[in-house]
Structure formats: C-alpha cells, structure tokens
Structure 1
Amino acid sequence: MKVTTAAMATLITLLPLTNAWIFQTCAGQADSTENRGCSQAACGTGTTIDWSNPTWIKYCVLRLYKNSDCTGQIGIATEDWKHTLAQPMAAWDVQGC
C-alpha cells in the first residue's frame, strides 16, 4: 500500500494528541493523557517550570503547591505556561483530564 503525502501530513498533525500534557520541573519531566495525583518536586524560587497542555480532547488543569502534601495552592494553569517561580514549590498535580 502506498502512502500519499497528504495522508502522511494528516497523520503527522495527529501526533501531538498522543500526549495530552507535559510538565517540566526541576525534578524532571512528566507527561500523560490522564490525571496525576500529588507529586513532589522541591523547586526553589527562581526555578523555571514549563507546562504544555496541547489538548483538543481533554481539559487538564495543573496546580502548584507550597506544601509537599498538595496543600497551599500557589499556582494554576490550563493553557501552555512557562513560568519562573516567585516562591518555592513543593508539589504539583494534574486534575480534570
């Protein structure tokens, strides 16, 4: 079977839908299409974090916390967000996927 250029281009445009979100912190990178429970990442003030939420299928919400038990919310994002922390972050989670 011969794959046409148009068919290949269509397939390539669908590839970003396989990862609903990607979150890069000082503790490394996480990605998924599902919710993520309370995850620890002790990142200090001035650390840059990067949240990419290229979803068309699911609506995922990133929440940042000052405490390692995911209490004391200090940030929230639904769309792509590259941010330098103004205060330390101890944990994060992803909800609503």
Structure 2
Amino acid sequence: MNLPVVWLPEAVAELKEAAAWYSNVRPELGIRFAQAIDATMENISANPLLFAVADRNRRRAGVRRFPYGIFFIDEPNRIVVIACFHGKRNPRHWKTRPSNPS
C-alpha cells in the first residue's frame, strides 16, 4: 500500500529551485531530475521504513544520480516531506523545521 505524501512548503520551494537550476543547465537534465524525484517518492511511499533514520524520527532517501536527499517523516497514514536538500548544504536548515504541515 502506498501512503499519501504531504510536502512542507519549504520542501516544495527547495524542489522547485533545484528543478529550475537543472533545467537552466540543460532542459533534459531538468527532466531527468524530475524523473529521479518521482522514482524516489514512489519508493518512499511504498516502503518508508527501508530508508535510514537521519535525525530523530526523520528519514533520508537519496535521489539517484543527483546529490539530493529527500528528508521525511513516516506517519501511520501518510509521509511528510520536510526537505529536498542538496548534500553539500548545511543540514541545520532542515533539522529545525517542524514535522507537521499546518
């Protein structure tokens, strides 16, 4: 059973920023990034417990072929994505985020 996914606004903004950056480098790279994100989200939704705990109850799923991680919380009835984060950025930004969308 795939769980529904809810994105925090900050995570959506990060995803859009990354997608725009890759599209500006090369349009087909932006498409590949979007496909990699989609595949990662499918895996998270289907099997959230397969991914390692990164901080407290927050898990991280790597995005294949891109230096990004999807940080999320697996709740009983949904997945809450708290960050779409480049691996070289300071993790303090996503670690201070609330775990529940308003």
TM-score, with normalisation over the residues of structure 1? 0.29
**Of Structure 1 and Structure 2, which has the larger fraction of its residues in helix?**
2
> Highest CA radius of gyration, 1 or 2?
1
